[in-house]
Structure 1
Amino acid sequence: YHWANGQKVDGKSGRFSDVTNPATGEVSASLPLASEEEAAEVIAAAKAAFPAWRDTSLAKRTRILFKFRELLDERAGELAAIITSEHGKVLSDAAGEVARGQEVVEFACGAPHLLKGSATENASTNVDVASIRQPLGVVGIISPFNFPAMVPMWFFPVAIAAGNTVVLKPSEKVPTAALWMAELWKEAGLPDGVFNVLNGDKTAVDALLTSPDVRSISFVGSTPIARYVYETGTAHGKRVQALGGAKNHMVVLPDADLDLAADQAINAGFGSAGERCMAISALVAVGDIADTLVDKIRERAVALRTGDGTRGCDMGPLVTRVAQERVSGYIDAGESAGATLVVDGRQGEFDADGAGFFVAPTLFDNV
C-alpha cells in the first residue's frame, strides 16, 4: 500500500513487485507499483497539507519532532528488524543505521535556531538588508535499497522541521521501513498529509521529477540514475540534490600497521555485504607489503560467518537474487581475466534456512 493523508491507500494500478527476505529467498509481500494517477493523488495530499503546516509555529513543529525522536528511541529495535528482514544486513548493522538516522532527527529538533533569518543595517549607505527563510512546499525524496531508514532520515526530518511536506519514494526492494516510519509520525502527532509514502518504480520517480507541485528532489542511488534525476528534475525547475555511487580505493603504504589495515579492509569491504556507497572494493598495496597484507585479509575473510542477519552472523545476504547473480558474475569475470582468486565466496556453508541470496567474502590478488 501507499501512505497518503495519514492513512493506508491500497494500490490500484494492477502492477506489483515482490518483496523478499534475502536470507531465505521467500517472498514476504507483494508491493503495488503506483500509476501516474496514483502518484498525482499522493502528491496532491502533500500539497493540500502544506499551507497549514507552513503556518504551524516552530514551537509546535519542534514538539512533534521531539515526540518522533522519543518514539524512535523506544522502538528502534522494531525498525532494525524490518531492515534486516528486507535488506538482509545483520541486526547490529541495521541498528547502527537507525542510530545514524536518529542523529539527523536530533539535529532537526534544533530547527528554531537553524531557521533564523538575518538583518544587517547599513549594508550600503542607508540600505538595510534582511533575509528570511521560508519552506518550499512539497519536497520529494527518492531513496535507495541499501539504507532503508538512514538515507530517508538524512532528508525528511529537516524538511519537515522547516515547514515542508514530504513525499518519500523508497526502493521497491525495501518498502516497509518507510511505511513504518509514516505510522510513527502519525503517532507522534504529525498532521495528516505532511509525510507521505509513494511506492513504485520509474513511473513514480518520473511523476515526482515532472510534477509542477513538487519543488525539490533529494536522491541517493547509482550514478547513472543520479544523473537522470538531476537532469530531469532541474529541467522541470526543481532544486535537486542527487547523490551517486562511488568506487572507493584503499591505499596501504609500506609503513602501515598491517593488522589495522586488514581489519579496516574487512570492515569496509564486507560490512553490509559490500552494499554501501562508501564500500572499499579495491585495495592498492604500495611497496613489498602486498603478500603479507593479502595473507592477513584472507585469514580474516575466511573466519567471517555468512548467513541470516538475525543469527549473529558477521555478514548477511545480498538484497536480491539478481544482485547475487551479478556479484557471482563479477567473480567469474575476475577468474576469466586471469586474476588470482584467493578466497572464493560462491560456494560455502551459510547459516540460514532456505535458498538465500548469499555470496561469502571473496578476495582477488594480482588483478
Structure 2
Amino acid sequence: MQTQRKAFDVRNFVGGEWVEANGQQTEAVYNPATGEVIAKTPLSTKEDVERAVGAAEAAFSGWSATPVTQRARVLFRFKMLLEEHFEELRDLVTLENGKDAKDAAGEVRRGIEVVEFACGMPSLMMGETVRDVASGIDNVSWRYPLGVVAAIVPFNFPCMIPLWTMPVAVGAGNTYLLKPSERTPLCSKRLVELFVEAGVPEGVVNLVNGAHETVNAILEHPRVKAVSFVGSQPVAEHVYKTGTASGKRVQALAGAKNSMIVLPDAVLEKAVPNIVSSAYGNAGERCLAGSVLVAVGEKEAQDRVVEKVREAASSMKVGAGYEEGSELTPLIRDSHRQKVRSYVDLGEKEGAEVVLDGREVRREEGFFFGPTILDGVTGEMRVAREEIFGPVLSVVRVDTLEEAVAFTNGSPFGNACSIYTENGAAVRYWREHVEAGMLGVNIGVAAPMAFFPFNGVKNSFYGDLHATGKDGVRFFTENKVEVVRYLSEPASGEAVRLPQEAGA
C-alpha cells in the first residue's frame, strides 16, 4: 500500500512560466490502484489556448533560425536528463496510469529512444540535390519547420507518447503545444520541466491542460499548423475532420482490434506467455494489445492453445503496479471498468462462453478487473469487432490460415496483427494478404523502433504521415524545392573572382 501523499499541483506552462488556467473547472486525477485523488487537472479554455499559441508564435522566428546543430545539443541534454530521472518518470507512470514497474520502465525507455532518434536531426533535416537536371541548372530541396504545432496525447502512455512528437517537432525547428490527457497530466508536466532544464528557450515548448474545449480550440486555431493525436477511433475521426477542415496537417492515431493468429505448429511453451502478455499487459489498455486469439486448425489443436492460455491467464497476480509480482494492474477509471464489464456481459449474451471471468475481483480499493477469456466468438459479435480496451481476450476458432486472415481483414481496424508459427510459407502468405500496418511474427506487441513509423492503417489511422521515424520528421516539416541557374559566366580561361575580390 502506498502512503497518502500531498496532491500534485497541475498548471499550464506558457511562455516559460507555470500559470493558472483561465477556466475554473477541474477534473480529478486518480491513483487507479487505490482510487485516491492525487491531483486536479484544470480544464483550460479557448483563451488559455490563445495565450499558449501566442507564446509559441513569438518564439518561432528565433528558434527556427537557431542552427540545427544547436537544437540537437538541447536534445542531447534532454536525453541525459531523462536518463538521470528514469526511475522518477517510471514511478510517475505507475502512479497516474497504474501499470506495473516493468511496463512503466519499458514505456519510459521507448520514449527516450525517440529522443535519441531526434538527436540526429542535423542529418534528418537534410534536403536533396541533383546537379545538371538540364544544362547548367541544378535542383535542390530544403526542409523547413512548419511553425506552431500541437500534440494531443492519451492516458495510456503518459510518458512515451508525448515523446513521440516533442523532440521531433522541436528538433526540426517548430514551436510546440502539448495537451496531455486530463486523466494523466503528471508525466507531461515533468517532461516539460526537464526540457526547460535542458535549455529549450521560453515559448518553444508550452503545455495546456484540458478536455473537449481545449482540444477544439487547438483544432480550430488558425495559427496552429499541424496537430498530432493519439486516442480512440471516434475522437481521432473528429480530430482529423475538424483539423483538416481548418487547414491543418493532421495525423490521428486511433483504435484497434488486433488479432493474434496461432497455427498448430506454434511453439506454445514460448508463444503462450507472449500471448498473455500482449492481451493483458497494461490491463489491455494499449492500441497494440492482442485482443482476439484466432486459433487455427482442428478442434484438438484449438482446444490445446485455448486451455494453455486460460491456465496462464488464470494464474496472473492481480495487483497494484507498485506491488511486487503484480502482472495485471488496474484500469484507469471505475467508469471504464464498468464499460469493460458491459462488454463481457454483452459477449455472454451474444453466445460466447466465459471460460475465464474477471468481473469479480476481490480488491476493495482501485479499479481492478481480472483476466477474462470469451471463447466461441464469431465475426458477427460486437466483442469480435469493437475495441474493448481492457483485459478481455476473445477467442475465434477457424479451420485454415486463409479463414484467419479473412476474419482479421473483416475488421474496420488495421493497427497490428501477429502470427505464431514456424512455417515460413505461412508467414509469407499472411504478410502479403493481411490488412494491418504493424506485423509481429511470434511477437504479440508489434511495436516498431523509434526510427520506423507507427504504422496503423484503415480506421486505426487518419492522415498521410505516421508518427515517429522519418514519417514524423516529414510531418513536422515542409519542403521548398529550388531550381537554380546562374546566367553570367567567366570568360574562357579567366579565373572566377568573388565580387569583393573584383573590387579590391
> TM-score normalised by the shorter chain: which range applies?
over 0.9
Question: Partners in 1 of 2:351 and 2:118 — Cα distance?
Answer: 51
1:104-142 Cα offsets, whole Å, 9 max, x none, are 100111111111122221223443211111111110101
Of the two structures, which has the highest relative contact order with CA contacts closer than 8 Å and spacing of 6 or more?
1
Q: Return the match for 2:244 from 234, 237, 247.
A: 234
* Structure 2 counterpart SS, 1:132: strand
In 1, the alpha carbon distance for the partners of 2:73 and 2:329 equals: 38
**Quick check: 2:361–2:368 contact (8 Å CA) kept in 1?**
no
Match runs of 1:2-151 below 5 Å: 2-151=12-161
Q: Equivalent residues in 2 for 1:1-367 (5 A)?
A: 1-288=11-298, 289-312=301-324, 313-350=326-363, 355-367=365-377
Distance 2:187 2:280 in 1: 23
In 2, the alpha carbon distance for the partners of 1:328 and 1:344 equals 10
Cα displacement string for residues 262-305 of structure 1 (whole angstroms, at most 9, x for unaligned residues): 22220110000001101111111111211111110111111111
In structure 1, C-alpha distance between the alignment counterparts of 2:319 and 2:239, rounded to whole Å: 35
Mapped partners of 2:236, 2:333: distance in 1: 21
Inter-partner Cα distance in structure 1 for 2:269 and 2:355: 18
Unaligned runs of 5+ in 2: 1-10, 378-504
Percent identity (aligned):
48
Structure 1: gaps (5+ residues): none
Q: CA deviation at 1:35?
A: 0.8
SS at match of 1:12: coil
Moved over 3 A (4+): none
Q: Distance in 2 between matches of 1:159 and 1:179?
A: 18
The 1:124/1:223 distance shift into structure 2, 3 A limit, reads farther
| 8 Å contact kept, 2:22–2:47 | no
- The equivalent of 2:447 in structure 1 is none
In 1, Cα distance between the equivalents of 2:47 and 2:133? 50
Aligned-partner Cα distance in 2 for 1:120–1:187: 41
What RMSD, in angstroms, separates the aligned Cα atoms of the two structures?
1.2
Q: d(CA) in 2 for partners of 1:250 and 1:349? A: 30
SS of 2:28's partner is strand
Structure 1 residue 233: Cα displacement: 1.1
Contact 2:60/2:174 (8 A) holds in 1: yes
Letter in 2 for 1:319: I
Answer with 85-94 or 329-338: which moved more. Answer: 329-338
Range with greater deviation from structure 2 (173-182 or 6-15):
6-15
Partners of 2:221 and 2:133 in 1: CA distance = 39
State the shift of 1:90 in Å.
0.7
Q: d(CA) in 2 for partners of 1:211 and 1:340? A: 49
Deviation at residue 360 of structure 1 after TM alignment: 1.0
Match of 2:386 in 1: none
Q: Give secondary structure in 1 for the equivalent of 2:189.
A: helix
Partner-residue secondary structure (3-state), 1:134: strand
CA displacement, residues 173-212 of structure 1 (integer Å, 9 cap, x when unaligned): 1011111111101111111111111111111111111111
Letter in structure 2 aligned against 1:267:
S
Distance, in Å, in 2 between the alignment partners of 1:303 and 1:326 is 24
Give the letter aligned to residue 329 of structure 1: S
TM-aligned CA deviation for residue 75 of structure 1: 0.5
Normalised by the length of structure 1, the TM-score is 0.97
- CA deviations on 1:221-245 (whole Å, 9 max, x unpaired) are 1112111111111111111111111
Q: Helix, strand or coil for the counterpart of 2:359?
A: coil
What code does the residue aligned with 1:240 have?
V
Residue type at the aligned position of 2:46: E
- The SS at the match of 1:310 is coil
Larger CA Rg, structure 1 vs 2: 2
